[in-house]
Amino acid sequence: MKIKKIHFIGIGGIGMSSLAFFLNKKFTLTGSDIGLSPIIKKLRKLGVDINIGHSTKNINNQDLIVYSSAINKSNVELVEAKKRNITTISRGKALGEFTKNKKNICITGTHGKSTSTSFISQILINSGKDINAFLGAIDRKLKTNFIHGNSNINVIEADESDNSFNFLKPDLSLITNIDYDHMDFYGSKEKLYEAFQAFIKKTTKCVVLNFDCKNIRKNLKGLKSKKITTFGYQNKKCDYYFTENILGSLELYHGKRKVGEIFTNLEGLHNHYNLIGAIIVCIKLGISFKKISKSTNKILTPKRRFENIFKSNNFEIYDDYAHHPSAISSLRKMLNKKKDLCKNYLIFQPHRYTRFKESYSDFIKEICQWENVIVTDIYSAHESKKSKISSKEFVKRVLKKKKINIQYIREFDKIIDKMYLKYKKNKNKIKLITIGAGDVNKIGYRLKNIIKESKERAR
């Protein structure tokens, strides 16, 4: 079948849109989504005909329908496409099909894959490489989730959440870590590990592994394979290991040989793991360490990775995508290391009922480590409520375990009012951090605007 016209159901998603950007020059694209977004506006400017709202009228003479993993099987467009015998394919399978004859560098893992994908892309571009990059987050410099090049080299964030990373054909891959997430899809830890084992087998040339991750060490078969390269922090048993200097720079070693010193503005051990993994991938791709080291101090994390929203003398607002206990823990450790006498206020929006349920006790354990917390309602991400779990009950459970300053506030406006009062009255330095993969970042931006407006009125 010759494909000329492709329709995307849920085109505004981060993964769907990157594929649409990639295919737009070669095919006539249409799309639909439930709401307008900056990504959709950008695709429209490129000539993609996108309708807001799903309708049977959006399906007509297309040759192929690509649908997001968030799309229900009963979606009217999907049903209409099947009635018309139009081929339908998931985003993950489509990405695999359209990149199968390319040189693919694929990055996966429970945490850090978006950041690592971004770091690899930045290093390669700064080193003069022409690439296509499918990012799982918006690049802060380029303000996009897709980098369009003119080569056959693809840097791809590989999604493990629904096993779609196994539709890809990687030449070289990086696995940042493995944690217990998306268990509603996999059903068991064994199935999760089998998926990662399959991904390793599919990689033809080299697999770079964070060997400090205990789940990687214990559960991935074939670790003695010649195509495996391991790295870790101060771990001399790994092929590569890194250390941290008193002045904050990193030193990278390959066996007993010192590769070189890395200067970076990135904070937190989790970001250092991401950076080292990215550097090793680039070394494997033939980029000299001299070239790599020239750009490491310019590298930025993507949007929503401890992104600064607002900063004044005594009040700062940050936003982070952390939505798993391990990711929240990494954030806390980074903040604790600063020792800047700030009072941290965490605004936590749980993401998905299934995730909140499967890691409930771990969420309680982690949130108990914070001093000041506001919990808002669970962001469903199109899930129907399958359990009696609620944010309100979660706060009660936390307080039973440890008496911290925590409360449940449903309305964003009430949270904003509360934090605005803190901004106005508190003389101590405050860091407000919104966390979650939903829309909790709206709180920070709205609060920023209110503060700015109040300053203008005071002039």
pLDDT digits (tens, 9 = 90+) for 90-125: 999 999 999 999 999 999 999 999 999 999 999 999
Q: Which of 252, 299, 242, 262 is nearest to 120 (CA)?
A: 299
Alpha carbons 422 and 315: distance in angstroms, whole number: 9
Q: What is the pLDDT of residue 318?
A: 96
Pairing of strands 307-311, 372-375: unpaired
Residues 6+ apart with CB under 8 A from 219: 178, 189, 193
- Asked if residue 386 has pLDDT above 70, the reply is no
Residue 28: pLDDT over 70? yes
Asked if residue 332 has pLDDT above 70, the reply is: yes
Look at residue 227 and give its three-state secondary structure: coil
- The angle at the Cα of 448, spanning 442 to 452, to the nearest 5 degrees, equals 145
Positive or negative CA dihedral for 433, 277, 159, 19?
Answer: positive
Q: What is the pLDDT of residue 282?
A: 97
Report percent pLDDT > 70 for the chain: 98
How high is the pLDDT of residue 2? 87
Q: Given pLDDT bands bounded at 50, 70 and 90, which one contains residue 340?
A: confident
Q: Which residue has the higher pLDDT, 141 or 82?
A: 82
pLDDT attached to residue 69:
86
pLDDT of residue 224: 66
CA angle 380–383–386, rounded 5-degree value: 100
Calculate Rg over the CA atoms of the chain.
Answer: 23
Q: Is the pTM of this model over 0.85?
A: yes
Q: Is the pLDDT of residue 161 over 80?
A: yes
Q: Please determine, for residue 327, whether its predicted confidence score (pLDDT) is greater than 80.
A: yes
Q: Over 80: is that where the pLDDT of 331 sits?
A: yes
| Contact call for residues 71 and 58 (beta carbons, < 8 A) | no
Using 50, 70 and 90 to split pLDDT, how confident is the model at 261? very high
With a cut of 80, say whether residue 407 has pLDDT above it: yes
The mean pLDDT value for 162-183 works out to 93
- pLDDT > 90? residue 337: no
Strands 206-210 and 228-233, how do they pair? parallel
Q: Residue 184 pLDDT more than 90? A: no
Computed from CA positions of residues 97, 102, 108, 113, in that sequence, does the dihedral angle turn out positive or negative? negative
pLDDT over 90 percentage in the chain: 80
